[in-house]
Chain A
């Protein structure tokens, strides 16, 4: 739209009023609430000095906590990708009693406070709980182990994949599937070669959203995790513990590591998606 002849402009002319007021309000609030506080975090982490940063960053407890948070979030997001895709498919394609109710219930993890989710998951997945007692005879403990962390992370990430895949499935044109079927493709082949590639970008978006949410999750996890250092202690809990010991710099370093790793991951997925979109057209 802008050619070499048009002068550089910060915004296109408009007769609508209020741009300055609206943008000013937004930028002021954004800076005061989000940007300046986050900058303070990075400054605090940097002020610790290289030796201290290195000591915190490479301490076995920090690494174990970060590994649990990121690996747990990854596994939970993968589980949600599989079951979320099935769930979205069932909700869009099949008609069965209670479908609308189930569709509405999928958003429960968005609405239910994390502390409530945490204590109720702990209650049912504990060895004497309704689900935990089914596994206890086989020597499988869910609550108060890393498995419990996954359960909580699956819960809070559940709606993301369903809600990103569902609208794409709804708008999928069935003529392509019919064409594939008429050309002799089996149903399974049609789904894996025709349907899934069209859903893949939305599935990846939902996966990333679920992952990003799970990495930082605290409330629902701490009740079910058991919080044993090096075993079932998540990174956000380690930040809280450092803070309670008045080790502000240590807390800031762990928090900064979390933010840098998750932003790097989210950014690289976005780049992959942008690359795929350029290659395959707007899918």
Chain B
């Protein structure tokens, strides 16, 4: 062993240096990455909590318990509680049709489902103002029947559904496609009813990618700003969601209060990230398909 050792020891060392980067380059690249993330991620996130606590605990508590803030929190939860289940139903339906069947126009349908991702959130709000606003296409009819959509809660929900439309479907489709149809066909052949097949075979198979999609959908629904800003009218206590409440406080130079409410949403973002990371770590294989599209 000792006779042959020198050449064999030398070879891997040389190959490693030719294959990988030198230590200096590695350190430089890691340093560049860390500096970039510090400037664009870590400092902004930290500043939310620093600014929120700038005026002390009492001011923080007051900012998030005052009636307008409480109304904004309730409205944000209400909008998400309607928009997210809606998108779950539609997302599951879309994934079932697209992943389990072969039909013409499938790629076009997938592109159309993804369409809201390439539309500015402001435009997502604008389209509903054009339809349901006082001067919109259905405005006069709605006014005659005393129905308010724009500058009211229904408009907030519609705009939120628009911007979060693709989230559930695009997580489910690749995963359900990769699973194929054999399990469902077997269950049907064994005499299970269609809904039983769906709830006992399909859903358990994809539950983690569904949860993953719901998580992202919910984060966006609760945090959406541009689309709801356009349709809300920003009536305090009535049509102000948390992000809109933050804007009003900020523009009124109540920075600490704005950051206090913002810290709640930042907390939600951190919980979302933690759950997302856990899902990727624990069920990585199942949801991997959607990360590799």
Residue ranges of A at the interface with B (Cβ–Cβ < 8 Å): 9-12, 14-19, 21-23, 25-26, 29-30, 33-38, 40-41, 44, 83, 86-87, 89-91, 93-94, 96, 102, 104-121, 123-124, 129-131, 151, 154-155, 158, 163, 167, 174, 177-178, 181-182, 187, 212-213, 215-219, 223, 235-237, 239-240, 243, 246, 248, 251-252, 255, 258-259, 262-263, 266
Is the beta-carbon distance between B194 and A17 smaller than 8 angstroms? Answer: yes
Give the interface SS of chain B, mostly helix, strand, loop or mixed.
Answer: helix
Choose among B37, B117, B274 the residue with the greatest number of A CB atoms under 10 Å from its CB.
B37
Interface hits, B82-126 → A, CB 8 Å: 86, 89-90, 93-94, 96-97, 100-104, 109, 112-113, 115-123, 126
Cα-based distance from A10 to B103 in the complex (angstroms): 6
Is the beta-carbon distance between A12 and B93 smaller than 8 angstroms? Answer: no
Query: What are 15 pairs between A and B in contact, CB < 8 Å?
Result: A11-B104, A30-B112, A34-B116, A34-B165, A36-B131, A87-B37, A94-B26, A108-B273, A119-B48, A131-B39, A181-B18, A187-B18, A218-B120, A243-B129, A255-B126
Give the interface SS of chain A, mostly helix, strand, loop or mixed.
Answer: helix
Partner of A16, one of B113, B181, B250: B181
Cα-based distance from A236 to B89 in the complex (angstroms): 31
List of A residues within 8 angstroms of B130 by Cβ? 37, 40-41, 44, 248, 252
Is the beta-carbon distance between A110 and B216 smaller than 8 angstroms? Answer: yes
Cα-based distance from A83 to B224 in the complex (angstroms): 27
A142 to chain B, nearest CB (A): 11
Partner of B246, one of A22, A111, A116, A263: A116
A220 to chain B, nearest CB (A): 8
Is the beta-carbon distance between B89 and A25 smaller than 8 angstroms? Answer: yes
Is the beta-carbon distance between A259 and B19 smaller than 8 angstroms? Answer: no
Top 7 A-B residue pairs of the complex, sorted by shortest distance between their CB atoms: A216-B120, A113-B223, A219-B225, A11-B103, A218-B226, A37-B127, A236-B122
List of A residues within 8 angstroms of B59 by Cβ? none
Partner of A258, one of B33, B44, B104, B123: B123
Digitize B75-86: 1 where CB-to-A-CB distance is under 8 Å, 0 elsewhere: 000000000001
Partner of A167, one of B118, B185, B243, B291: B291
Give the nearest-CB partner of B32 in chain A.
Answer: A86
Is the beta-carbon distance between B246 and A21 smaller than 8 angstroms? Answer: no
List of B residues within 8 angstroms of A263 by Cβ? 118
Cα-based distance from A127 to B82 in the complex (angstroms): 42
Partner of A115, one of B37, B194, B262: B262
Q: Is B266 engaged at the interface, CB distance under 8 Å to the other chain?
A: yes
Digitize B1-45: 1 where CB-to-A-CB distance is under 8 Å, 0 elsewhere: 000000000000001001111100010011011101101111111
Interface hits, B175-194 → A, CB 8 Å: 181, 184-185, 188, 194
B197 to chain A, nearest CB (A): 8
Is the beta-carbon distance between B273 and A111 smaller than 8 angstroms? Answer: yes
List of A residues within 8 angstroms of B89 by Cβ? 25
A249 to chain B, nearest CB (A): 9
Digitize B236-262: 1 where CB-to-A-CB distance is under 8 Å, 0 elsewhere: 000000111011001000010011001
Give the nearest-CB partner of A129 in chain B.
Answer: B47
List of A residues within 8 angstroms of B162 by Cβ? 33-34, 37
Q: Is B141 engaged at the interface, CB distance under 8 Å to the other chain?
A: no
Digitize B53-82: 1 where CB-to-A-CB distance is under 8 Å, 0 elsewhere: 000000000000000000000000000000
Is the beta-carbon distance between A178 and B119 smaller than 8 angstroms? Answer: no
B50 to chain A, nearest CB (A): 9
Q: A37-B131, A40-B127, A115-B247 are known contacts. Are A15 and B185 too (CB-CB below 8 A)?
A: yes
